[in-house]
Amino acid sequence: MKIAVLSDIHSNLEALLACLAHARYHGAEQFVFPGDLLGYGADPKACLEIIAPMVNAGAIAVLGNHDKAVLGGMCENLAFVARDAIYWTREQLGQPERDFIGALPMVARNGNAYYVHASAASPERWTYIDSGVAAAKCMQASGSPLTFIGHVHHQTLYYTAGGGAAQVFIPVPGVAIPVSRQRQWLAIAGSVGQQRDGNPAAAYLLHDLQRESLTFFRVPYDYMSAAAKIRAAGLPERLARRLEKGN
């Protein structure tokens, strides 16, 4: 059984379709969306039209900070461009979409895997996991051998050692990394819909239950179309350029 973890889609339909096709080709049978389905991109409705039926059929999705912002509030914590995108997204969604987002849980468990958008230590505070110390706190709170998160857009793998801060490892795309159950692992799946490392290719990971391994992937997709739609929708230019440049 292989589970595809697709995080931070951010309303990017082209990237979502490319990653889903890639994951299915590589044998994914289950799908997990650890939050931030919305925000930034120009296709919130089309993305939810794909994701909602999958969730109804058993896929797992949890709430991200951008998803929560779409439901209401002032969004003071978000940057201006992100805020503009949230206001725009609110106008696109109807009641069924809002109901779907509103019903998403903060965290989810499946076997020995734990899914949350930001950190298991305090899910509603949207903490960024950017250090071994923060990663260790998150793993301790989840209590599971495997914790999958998004929020941070860089693919990263943390793991516990003797104690104290977790160790950090930057995965090489396409390499299956064995994750023994004897320690705890925290995988940041990367972002499907918005890159920040200079490489515009979409990111997700595949969790192989039989082989007990994680494979991080980078998938090229048609970011030119995604960026063109952002411009056509009148969303901030910065968001379109970001997809083209990958940062």
Partner 1 sequence: MDLTNLRPGSVVDGFRVGEKIHEGGMAVLYRVEREGGEFPMLMKVPRLEFGSHPSCYVGFEVERMILEVLTGPHVPRWVTKGSLDDTPYMVMEYVEGRSLHEYADLAPLSADEAARLVAALATAVHDMHRQEVIHLDLKPANVIYRMDGRAVLVDFGLARHGHFPDLVEEEFHKPVGTSGYISPEQIMGNRDNPRSDLFALGVILYQLCTGRLPFGEPTTLSGFRRRLFLDPLPPRRYVPDLPEWMQEIILHCLEVEAENRYATAAQLAFDLAHPDHVPLTDRATRHKRAGLHTIFRRWWRSLRTEPDTKAAPTTHLAQAPNILVALDTGTGQEKILQAILAAVRRAAAADANCRIMCVTVIEPDISIEQDTGHELANSLYTRRLVELHHWAAELQLPAHRLRFHVLEGTNAATVLLEYARQNHVDQIIMGARGSSGLRRILGSVSSRVVAEAGCTVTVVHAQKTA
Residues that bind partner 1 (CB under 8 A): 157, 159, 161-162, 167, 169, 171-172, 175, 177-178, 180-182
CB of 183 to partner 1, least distance (A): 8
Residues 6+ apart with CB under 8 A from 14: 221, 222, 223, 225, 226
Task: Select 101 or 166, whichever has its Cβ closest to partner 1.
Answer: 166
Task: Select 73 or 143, whichever has its Cβ closest to partner 1.
Answer: 143
d(CA 241, CA 151): 20
CB of 201 to partner 1, least distance (A): 18
CB of 167 to partner 1, least distance (A): 4
Structure tokens at 42: 């120009």
Task: Select 16 or 206, whichever has its Cβ closest to partner 1.
Answer: 206
d(CA 75, CA 143): 31
CB of 210 to partner 1, least distance (A): 13
CB of 217 to partner 1, least distance (A): 14
How many Cβ atoms are within 10 Å of 224's Cβ, its own excluded?
13
Task: Select 30 or 167, whichever has its Cβ closest to partner 1.
Answer: 167
d(CA 26, CA 43): 25
Task: Select 94 or 178, whichever has its Cβ closest to partner 1.
Answer: 178
CB of 118 to partner 1, least distance (A): 23
* Helices 80-92/237-245 angle, 10° precision: 100
d(CA 179, CA 99): 37
CB of 103 to partner 1, least distance (A): 37
d(CA 236, CA 230): 8
Placement of tokens 């990017």 in the chain? 12
Task: Select 168 or 219, whichever has its Cβ closest to partner 1.
Answer: 168
Task: Select 171 or 193, whichever has its Cβ closest to partner 1.
Answer: 171
Instruction: Give residue 169's region: left, alpha or beta (phi > 0; psi -120 to 50).
Output: beta
Q: DSSP label at 141? A: H
What is the dihedral angle through the alpha carbons of 12, 15, 3, 184, rounded to the nearest 10 degrees? Answer: -80
Specify whether the CB–CB gap between 38 and 66 falls below 8 A. Answer: yes
